[in-house]
Chains A and B, each alone.
Chain A
Amino acid sequence: MSPRESSRHTALLLGCVAIAYLPHLTHLPLWVGGVLAGCCGGLLAVAGGWLRAPGRGLRFVLAVLGLTAVALQYGRINGADSGSALLTLMLGLKLLETRTGRDRILVVYLCFFLLGSGFLHDQALPGGALALFGLLPLTWAWILLQEGAERPPLRRALRTAALLLAQALPLMLVLFLLFPRLSGPLWSIPRETGAARFGLSDHMAPGALTALGQSGAVAFRARFFGAVPPPAARYWRALVLWDYDGLTWRNRQPAELGPAPLVPRSAAIAYEITLEPQGQPWLPLLDVPARIEVPEARFTGREALAAKPVDERLRYEASSYASYRLAPQANPDLMARALALPETGNAAARTLAREWQARFADPAERARAALRLFREAPFYYTLQPPPLGSDGIDDFLFRSRRGFCEHYAGAFVFLMRAAGVPARVVTGYQGGETNPLGDYLIVRQADAHAWAEIWLAGQGWGRVDPTAAVAPERIEDGAAAALAGELSVPVRLLRESAALQRLRLGWDAANYRWNDWVLGYGPDKQRTTLTRWGFDSVAPGRLMGWVTLLTVGMSALTGLWMGRRRETHSGRDPVIAGFRRLQRRLSRAGHPPRPGEGPRDYLARCAAAEPAWRAPLAVLGRDYLALRYGPYPAAEQQARFGRAVRRFHPRWLRLRRRWMVRIGRRQGRDSVDGPEPVSPAGAARTTP
């Protein structure tokens, strides 16, 4: 192998490794990438002759070391991340011993595998889709690294790679749509790295939600099967919190067991939610949910919990009622829990609440009094509330009066309980941005919200949102509008500029479609899609039958197409095609070939008929005969003949000559050169 070829191989291999490792760059530990880079350096050193390739013993030691390191890092070697790390190390070791063509091909294979395993980590829109483009350069390198015969030039190999991928694209689509999917994993998938926990936590303290207020991250997207509820009705329930310890709202024991009885008083609203992974088990639902379709989800007191934290995007359908009576019959245990408060603390608030209790016999009236307080006293809705002292509620109600929704909800529930009204805190999201491009709602972490529910005899639990009393625009126009002055400049820009807004919504719609059609194409989606397309059975056997049939059929079509392409090429001998063109042009100029007339006679006859053609036809005729009947010509000569024919315009030449003759005659001169054209019949046929 020539040194040039060898360095080309090395460059190709390194390129492949870089492309395959790129998707893993951010999530594999740094040392894995370091080892791979070291192995790449080793390959360069070996190829450059500065280093001897490591022997078998050394490679074995390195392999064992790598295995141990991965096991130590992850505690296992057969998961998704540890598998990727192991694959990377194997690839590195393989690089060190790459000598033969077969070794190089194996490296390319490993690169394909590594690229594919990158999707276990990230298959979201920009990164995942971009990684798919890596298939082209890998295929390209695969062609160029073939052993044995002389390799095609780079551009030609690239074209072949692109052609192969393009031809395989329909095949891929058919397989993707029809290949039967499993509803569960084949073997248990261990969770190695908990997904970053982000979003609502299981408790609520002052400041808990303000952290989310600035986040533009998508919490979930909701698509309604009917009309979309108005903004003020978009309360998404996630958690109900019962117990207060003077600082934090949480659930010290499980919330209600079993769904509280619900009496619907309006039509059901059906919708579908695509929840982004958040590392928490709660499943947000439109207030107040009646039904959810997630296997193994626990539907407790009108809140839904997945069996385990949601680490992958989850789609579920549910239905809710906007108007309802929730648990109208009192449950004594729960009532006691809904009235419980710490023994001490927040004396001023308690005094105020007792005052209301004495003044208003109707519990609803007491709630109205509290809302009136929020509305009429100078309360502010802000993302940056001042810190509160040990008596947080008192501090907030009578001193700072600045707070985010959790301050208002917490204070309100405290006041209600102190006034003898059963109350509880509900956290979740409020609002959602309509995406006109995708006909769905985007609910962001910034829409996180907390509100209260109070229990009234005969009516059951009803929602009261004290934040609405302070900042009605929070409920009508969303958190962003209510907090417009406080959001950081980029976030504000993003929300206010119309063009950026369109761009942002378009991007989100693309994401939604991608998640819906590509990433979310599992067994359920496959069943509904194929049924809609008229497949009467989606049993795996049936689908495999279709897959086989379509694969073979499409492959046969491709084969036919390629065969046809070859034949049209053979029919495209430039010399024959050129002569046909010449015949066509001469025929249009009034001189079609006669039956049985050979090319030499034909061209001679034409040349005799029109003096302007004599010289070019002599050259063309000579070349044609030489190319057709002489020794096998070079492609360049053939192409030159084709170009010469294309430049030969018999009618134009004749017209030009006639002009010259006419001009010459007008100027009194005798003639230009040669006699007058002789064929009046031909001239008549010239006019198109």
Chain B
Amino acid sequence: MRAMPHHAWVLRWVRRRHPPVTGPITVDRRRIYILPTRQGWGFALLLGTMLLAALNYGNSLMFVVCFWMGGVAFLTMHHTHRNLLGLHIAGQAAAPVFAGSEAVFGLQMSHADASPRYGLRLHHTDQTHALAPLSAGVATAVPVAIAAPRRGRLELPRLGLSTTYPLGLFEAWTWIHPALETLVYPCPAPQAPPPAGAGLQGGIGTAGDHGEGSEDYRGLRNYRSGDGAHTIAWRVLARERGLMVKQFSENNRPEWRLAWAQFAHQADAERILSLLCRQALAAHACGAPFALYLPDRELPLGSGEDHLRKVLRALALYGLPAREAP
């Protein structure tokens, strides 16, 4: 968004004017802002020069070119504005992710025009992505990957949607802020000692826990809501074969007690959470029932996807102010 102002006071004003919205957003006239681009000013300069020449030489056809292109330039304002007008945008929550990766929110964009809309750009957190043309009559899913550096709740930041179509003389933009958030689990530590009562020797690590080379790997199944983000087969998704989840066979193992107390000697709470996270994943991977003991909270023994999600959620939100989360 070259034309769009980025001063702090503007951003404050924008925050007040366009607070997060739950539910789908329709881009109406009050949401669209438009300003000439640098190219627009350049073209104005060109027309001004041509007008001077036309005036000086009293050249009628030069006047015609000047006025005609001036009219075209002026009217592209409407075309650019209209390119955003009437867009329906529905946000899709992102699946929870581990800290350090990216949370992928989704935008379902559709419009009621007879022809596709071209030249839309999506802006978020200093990034700009050119969108593919939005086809007529079909909702287009636009992924919005937001970096999730820290565990906790991750809100979808305010997004900008802009266009300079058709001639690049004006830039129209709108701020959209669907009220969406997702959980960011602690980043699992690469290595963690086995929990008390696991009956395991040595450390548990990334290798062999899960992944396609694992012996325990059983296959893929369709994604059901609630499946953990780490089980999603991202490569399959990238090949556009849909959202699939990797499955691992369950072996009967002794029950695991994941306890904060085991790592109480660690100074850094985040480090402890990372270790516990690794333990939880390992326990889930080998199918053992596990329980979690945090200083402020205990989760009883259990197993399965749901249990893992509960545990990871407790780890993600540990020590954070309570709030209704998605």
Contact = CB atoms under 8 A, between A and B. Distances in A.
On whether the two chains bind one another, the answer is yes
Interface of A: 80, 102, 105-106, 109, 112-113, 115-117, 119-120, 123, 128, 131-132, 135, 139, 142-143, 146-152, 156-157, 160-161, 164-165, 167-169, 171-172, 175-176, 179, 181-182, 185-187, 189, 518-522, 551, 555, 558-559, 562-563, 566, 569-570, 572-573, 632-635, 638
A563 B86 CA distance: 10
Interface stretch (B53-61, B294-302, B308-316): B53-61
Contacts of B112: 566, 569-570, 573
Contact of A518 (B60, B114, B116, B119): B60
Nearest to B120: A149
Contacts of B261: none
3 closest A-B pairs (Cβ-Cβ)?
A168-B71, A171-B71, A570-B112
B137 interface: yes
Contacts of B85: 563, 566
Contact of A109 (B42, B57, B115, B131): B42
A687 to B, nearest CB: 38
A635 B135 contact: yes
B72 A558 contact: no
Contact of A165 (B68, B74, B120, B164): B68
A80 B69 CA distance: 21
B43 A109 contact: yes
Interface string B158-200: 0000011111100000000000000000000000000000000
B167 A146 contact: yes
Nearest to A101: B168
Given A116-B50, A156-B115, A132 B168 contact: no
A59 B75 CA distance: 37
B59 A120 contact: yes
A143 B166 contact: yes
B66 A116 contact: yes
A635 B74 contact: no
B54 to A, nearest CB: 8
Interface of B: 39, 42-43, 46, 49-50, 52-72, 74-79, 81-82, 85-86, 110, 112-116, 118-121, 130-133, 135-139, 163-168
A149 B62 CA distance: 33
Given A149-B119, A572-B114, A519 B62 contact: no
Contact of B74 (A109, A148, A171, A569): A171
B65 A112 contact: yes
Contacts of B43: 109
Contacts of B139: 632
Contacts, number: 187
Given A149-B121, A164-B166, A168-B70, 13 more contacts: A80-B57, A113-B49, A116-B53, A120-B57, A143-B167, A149-B130, A150-B130, A150-B132, A156-B115, A172-B68, A172-B71, A175-B63, A635-B136
Nearest to B52: A186
A555 B70 CA distance: 12
Contacts of B63: 175-176, 179
B166 A109 contact: no
B86 A570 contact: yes
Contacts of B42: 106, 109
A164 B39 CA distance: 18
A472 B59 CA distance: 44
A119 B68 CA distance: 15
B122 to A, nearest CB: 10
Given A119-B59, A519-B60, A569-B114, A558 B65 contact: no
A135 B78 contact: no
B119 A160 contact: no
Given A164-B76, A635-B136, A175 B62 contact: no
Given A113-B46, A142-B167, A171-B71, A160 B64 contact: no
Contacts of B46: 109, 112-113
Nearest to B81: A559
11 contacts: A106-B42, A112-B50, A116-B62, A148-B164, A156-B115, A161-B166, A168-B75, A175-B63, A176-B64, A185-B57, A566-B112
Contact of A123 (B61, B113, B133): B61
Most buried by B among A151, A518, A569: A569
A638 B70 CA distance: 40
Contact of B71 (A80, A175, A520, A522): A175
A169 B71 contact: yes
Contact of A135 (B39, B68, B118): B68
B113 A566 contact: yes
Say what secondary structure dominates the interface of chain A.
helix
B115 A558 contact: no
Contacts of B81: 559
Contacts of A160: 79, 166
B64 A172 contact: yes
Contacts of A519: 60-61
A558 B78 contact: yes
Most buried by B among A80, A151, A566, A573: A566
Contact of A146 (B58, B72, B137, B164): B164
Contacts of A150: 118-119, 130-133
Contact of A119 (B49, B61, B67): B61
A164 B75 contact: yes
B88 to A, nearest CB: 10
Nearest to A637: B137
A171 B61 contact: no
B82 A569 contact: no
A186 B56 contact: yes
A167 B63 CA distance: 17
A521 B166 contact: no
A148 B133 CA distance: 12
A117 B62 contact: yes
A120 B54 CA distance: 9
Contact of A102 (B39, B54, B119, B130): B39
A559 B80 CA distance: 11
B69 A632 contact: no
A634 B72 contact: no
A575 B222 CA distance: 32
A572 B112 CA distance: 9
Contacts of A172: 64, 67-68, 70-71
Most buried by A among B43, B61, B77: B61
Contacts of B165: 146, 149
A123 B59 contact: yes
Given A115-B65, A566-B86, A171 B75 contact: yes
A160 B113 CA distance: 15
A143 B165 CA distance: 8
B58 A185 contact: yes
Contact of B82 (A181, A185, A566, A634): A566
A181 B62 CA distance: 13
A78 B110 CA distance: 53
Given A117-B53, A149-B119, A171-B67, A139 B72 contact: yes
Given A119-B62, A176-B67, A634 B78 contact: no
Given A146-B119, A160-B79, A186 B137 contact: no
Nearest to B42: A109
Contacts of B58: 181-182, 185, 522
A182 B59 CA distance: 11
Contacts of B138: 632, 634-635
Contact of A185 (B56, B70, B86): B56
A559 B78 contact: yes
Contacts of B62: 116-117, 119-120
Contacts of A559: 78, 81
A558 B61 contact: no
A105 to B, nearest CB: 6
Given A80-B57, A186-B52, A105 B168 contact: yes
A146 B40 CA distance: 13
A131 B61 CA distance: 10
B37 to A, nearest CB: 10
Contacts of A161: 166
